[in-house]
């Protein structure tokens, strides 16, 4: 006959595995300009362990293999999880105060903000890293922290040593502007003498050099004393501009001309002209 007996139960509590991965979310070098503030590099932190874990974040702006070290501004957590740094919306990170808690397989985007020295040259690169470390502890794979795991079990360091690090590069694209002014005089007698009644045509040429783009470029120039502005004489790239503050890019307010050039890329020029008569 068959006799069935039952053994004592054997219970194995699964230990918490401490593993984290950090990667750069930027597709390549992130362009910035000399003197820029809060230039962001983007990183993604993922808890590859099997339990919830707090992680300490450590940025480093002093790394080898680059041209300069930016000044660390702050580290910011992507509060709204849209992958884009939103000033005033995303949460500023303070180590030991709001270390992010990630559940298993959960990821978080983190921004490292940097200030760029004004003296940097076009093409200079800065290497910035971000490390995430399990607050429970780190060590060689297999290191055990007794009773420190979820539910009172042990916590065991995984293959990443419970710390992850990634780096990204900032690339300075330094655009600069030069403005050159010239004048041509035409007198009433067909000559070039600057006598009363003569017309002076001023030409201002803005040249953008370096790399990148300058935003919101504008040219203003006061009307010289003892001259009178010739109405509707402003041009931009040879096209006439009106004197009124309207839809086009120029205006004259009675004492000076102003022309808004907008965003101008390096390697381009913009030419503005206007006329006055000598009184």
The token pair that represents 20 in the structure block: 């984290």
Mean pLDDT of 113-134: 94
Whether residue 167 is found in the same domain as residue 214: no
Distance CA 71, CA 69 (A): 7
Residue 8: inside a domain, yes or no?
Answer: no
Residue 5: inside a domain, yes or no?
Answer: no
pLDDT digits (tens, 9 = 90+) for 73-113: 999 999 999 999 999 999 999 999 999 999 999 999 999 99
Whether residue 118 is found in the same domain as residue 241: no
Q: Among 219, 206, 201, which Cα is nearest to 259's?
A: 219
Distance CA 215, CA 212 (A): 10
- Other C-beta atoms closer than 10 Å to the C-beta of 152 total 8
Whether residue 130 is found in the same domain as residue 191: no
Which CATH number covers residue 83? 2.60.40.10
Residue 115: the pLDDT is 98
Whether residue 125 is found in the same domain as residue 196: no
Residue 11: inside a domain, yes or no?
Answer: no
Q: What is the DSSP letter of 70?
A: P
Whether residue 152 is found in the same domain as residue 191: no
Please tell me the total count of domains within the chain: 2
All residues at 6 or more sequence positions from 65 whose CB lies less than 8 Å from its CB, including other chains: 127
Residue 1: the pLDDT is 83
- In sign, the C-alpha dihedral spanning 38, 264, 248, 251 is positive
Q: Which of 128, 146, 172 is the last residue of a domain?
A: 172
Phi, psi (5° rounding) for residue 218? -145, 150
Q: What is the pTM (predicted TM-score) of this model?
A: 0.70
Which CATH number covers residue 234? 2.60.40.1170
In order, the DSSP letters of 9-31 are P---PPPEEE-EEEEE-SSSPEE
pLDDT digits (tens, 9 = 90+) for 216-242: 899 999 999 999 999 999 999 999 999
Identify the domain containing residue 58 by its residue range. Answer: 16-172
Whether residue 208 is found in the same domain as residue 138: no
Whether residue 162 is found in the same domain as residue 203: no
163-172 and 30-32 as β-strands: parallel, antiparallel, unpaired? parallel
Whether residue 251 is found in the same domain as residue 158: no
Phi, psi (5° rounding) for residue 170? -100, 135
Asked if 93 contacts 75 with a C-beta cutoff of 8 angstroms, the reply is: yes
Whether residue 129 is found in the same domain as residue 60: yes
Whether residue 155 is found in the same domain as residue 70: yes
Half-sphere exposure (Cβ direction) of 85: Cα atoms closer than 13 Å: 19
């Amino acid at each position: 006959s068959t006799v069935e007996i039952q053994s004592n139960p054997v219970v194995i509590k699964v230990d918490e595995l401490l593993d984290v991965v950090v990667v750069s979310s930027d597709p390549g070098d992130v362009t910035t300009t000399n003197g820029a503030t809060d230039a962001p590099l983007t990183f993604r932190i993922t808890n590859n362990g099997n339990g919830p874990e707090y992680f300490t974040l450590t940025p480093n702006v002093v790394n080898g293999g680059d041209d300069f070290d930016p000044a660390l501004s702050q580290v910011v957590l992507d509060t709204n999880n849209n992958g884009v740094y939103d000033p005033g919306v995303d949460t500023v990170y303070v180590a030991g105060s709001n270390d992010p808690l990630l559940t298993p397989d959960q990821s978080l985007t983190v921004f490292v903000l940097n200030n760029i020295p004004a003296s940097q040259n076009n093409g200079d690169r800065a290497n910035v890293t971000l490390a995430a470390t399990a607050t429970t502890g780190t060590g060689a794979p297999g290191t055990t922290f007794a009773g420190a795991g979820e539910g009172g079990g042990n916590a065991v360091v995984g293959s990443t040593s419970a710390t992850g690090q990634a780096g990204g590069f900032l690339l300075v694209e330094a655009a600069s502007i030069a403005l050159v002014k010239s004048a041509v005089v035409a007198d009433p007698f067909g000559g070039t003498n600057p006598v009363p009644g003569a017309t002076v045509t001023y030409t201002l040429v803005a040249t953008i050099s370096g790399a990148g783009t300058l935003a919101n470029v504008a040219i203003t120039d006061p009307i010289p004393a003892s001259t009178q502005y010739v109405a509707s004489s402003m041009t931009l790239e040879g096209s006439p501009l009106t004197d009124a503050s309207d839809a086009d890019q120029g205006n004259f307010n009675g004492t000076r001309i102003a022309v808004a050039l907008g965003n101008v890329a390096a390697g381009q020029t913009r030419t503005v002209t206007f006329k006055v008569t000598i009184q």
